[in-house]
Amino acid sequence: MARKVDSSVLEVGRALGSWTVGDGPMYRKLADAVRRAVEGGALAGGDRMPSERQLADLLAVSRTTVVAAYDDLRENGVVESMRGSGTRIARRSGSRGPSDGRVPGGRGATIFQRLIDGPGELISLACAAEPGDQDLLEVMREVAEHDMPALLQSQGFFPTGLPICREAVANYLTSGGFPTAPDQVLMTTGAQQALALIAELYLTRGDRVLVESPSWPGCFDVFQAAGAELVTVPLDDEGARADAFAAACIDYEPTLAYVMPTYHNPTGTLMSESRRRKLAEIATRTGVPIVEDNAYLGLRIAEPYDAPQPAPLGSFAGPGGEVLSIGSLGKAVWGGLRIGWVRAPAEIIERLARRKVLADLSSPVFEQAVAARLLPRLNQIQSERAAHLRPQLDTLERLLREQLPTWRWRRPDGGPAIWVELPPGVDAEVYAQVALRHGVEVIPGSAMMFDSVRSNHIRMPYTFPEPVLVELVDRLARAWMELNRHGPVESRPVQRLVL
């Protein structure tokens, strides 16, 4: 088994991305990946590179490969080596990116980069999403025919959101046990914008934010970009642990807390009603505002399938409690429908709206009109999407039990992925590098755990068609066999499935 990797080299490894894809010798592909990282700003002039042994351990390749790559880079002036100071990116190799010579990055960088690059030749586990439902086309036709003629007579700017869409969100939340008025809703361009606006409103440099661990890495990046320090709270089978949450609120006096109570990403846990009530009580007592992200609301996988979901955490906030509830249509309907919302007290919505105007004036009117027609039937849409996902999860679990029997996971309550635990002692960062050579882009658990640079977990979406799931597990099993039998060795070309 490959040895552990020092934490100082992990960021360099992430900057290299899917470096093994393509033809040619391994050392040349590695050298080219370093060049791309420098040109793109992920590595800047003066950055210290890992030692040859460290990088070989991380990438699960032989030290000879790294030595040859570094020689190539030195000959071409990309890196420079000095006795006693190791290898560094040459100063003249700095990019022309942002003022500090870097492009935005963080725990979510690999996932976001895959969105930019597209699927390519890999089976990528970076995005847990499905194509849009064809019924969406009919709704778009209805909007174009019946709604747009009147909307075209307006100025087209609705900073807080299209009124019929705000009303539809309010009705949807009210029907789910969270009484809401339209003036308590702000429409946003996806849930990610909602989170960014909240961070801009609440956070200044040095503030603390409580986050679950593991959690969605995009939230880590948003809060850190605002200058916040992150404090982690562990999970159990009911969600964020109440004792740890209470202790963190008292000990660290955070400015904000962020939780995913409904089908948590990546664990798929559904926070119990009693836990929601307890967290709301703690936050009210300590004066800590909570952001609840319900992007996966309605995607129930566990039996009984028709069991009612607990009301949003915000519905349990007492007088003086402050909860901001984020939702979107991206997971339940289609990722390309960039419509999200924030539900909060009306005065908070007004302050968020002022910041949204500066960001983009308002979200697209056509998409909001589509959302207004979808929201009254959203529960049915989510139920149908969940029913479609269950057989795919069954297939993935069967394949994993057959080919990777030492891997462990808990069947999720909902959501589109499972949180897989590799055997003890396995570094998921190293396994991810071996899997990459077999045509699978794995997201190691450390990317989703802010308090850990190493993890033996990986997030595995099951949103693929059955033939792709079969190929996926076959590739993962081959990579697992290579890592167990041989450790870091040179890879051989493999046939890759073009998605």
Q: How confident is the model at residue 486 (pLDDT cuts 50, 70, 90)?
A: low
Count of all residues that appear for the chain in the document: 499
**Cα angle value 109/111/116 (rounded, 5°):** 90
d(C-alpha 236, C-alpha 241), whole Å: 6
Residue 311: its pLDDT value, please?
95
Q: For residue 398, what are the contacts with CB-CB under 8 A and spacing of at least 6?
A: none
The C-alpha angle with vertex 287 and arms to 284 and 290, in degrees rounded to 5, equals: 70
For the cut 70, the answer to whether the pLDDT of residue 33 exceeds it is yes
Contact 428, 460 (CB under 8 A): no
Mean pLDDT of 189-206: 97
Residue 114 has pLDDT above 60, yes or no: no
Query: Among 80-94, 161-175, 377-391, which stretch is predicted with the lowest mean pLDDT?
Result: 80-94
Q: How far is CA 317 from the centre of its chain?
A: 27
Q: Quote the pTM value.
A: 0.82
Query: Are the CB atoms for 433 and 2 separated by under 8 Å?
Result: no
Instruction: Provide the pLDDT for residue 102.
Output: 38
Task: State residue 6's pLDDT score.
Answer: 54
Binned at pLDDT 50, 70 and 90, residue 8 comes out as low
CA dist 147 and 219 (Å) reads 35
- What is residue 342's predicted lDDT score, i.e. its pLDDT? 98
**CB neighbours of residue 446 within 10 Å:** 26
Strand partners, 91: none
Percentage with pLDDT > 70 across the chain: 90
What residues does each domain of the chain span?
1-103, 148-379
Take residue 124 and report the two structure tokens written for it. 């990528």
Tens of pLDDT, residue by residue over 450-484, are 887 789 999 999 999 999 999 999 999 999 999 99
Closest residue by Cα to residue 294 from 271, 277, 318: 271
pLDDT mean over 342-350: 97
Q: Does residue 99 surpass a pLDDT of 70?
A: no
Fold assignment, 148-379: Aspartate Aminotransferase; domain 2 (3.40.640)
Note the pLDDT tens digit of each residue in 388-438.
999 999 999 999 999 999 999 999 999 999 999 999 999 999 999 999 999
Residue owning tokens 């339209």:
182
The CATH classification number of 1-103 equals 1.10.10.10
In whole angstroms, what is the distance from residue 52 CA to residue 172 CA? Answer: 56
Q: Which of 460, 423, 420, 455 is nearest to 213 (CA)?
A: 455
Confidence bin at 490 (pLDDT 50/70/90): very low
The predicted pLDDT at position 58 comes to 85
Whether the predicted pLDDT of 116 surpasses 90: no
Predicted pLDDT at 487: 59
d(CA 176, CA 398): 34
Asked if the domains 1-103 and 148-379 are classified in one and the same CATH topology, the answer is no
Where is average pLDDT lowest: 124-138, 161-175, 420-434?
124-138
pLDDT beyond 70 at 360: yes
The reported pLDDT for the residue numbered 73 is 93
